[in-house]
Amino acid sequence: MSSLCAVGMGANLGDPEATLERAVNLLRLRQGLSVTAISSTWLTEPEGGPPDQNWFYNRVVLINSSLTSVQIFRVLSDIEVLLGRVREERWGPRLIDLDFLFRDQEILELPELIIPHPLLHIRGFVLKPLIEVAPDWVHPLLGISVSEMLERLPPDGPEARKVS
Positions marked catalytic: 85, 94, 97, 99
Beta strands in 45-106 (DSSP E): 56-65, 97-103
CA nearest to 126, candidates 152, 144, 145, 101: 101
Q: Which residues of 82-110 are buried (b: 16+ CB within 10 A; e: fewer)?
A: ebebeeeeeeebbbbbbbbbbbeeeeeee
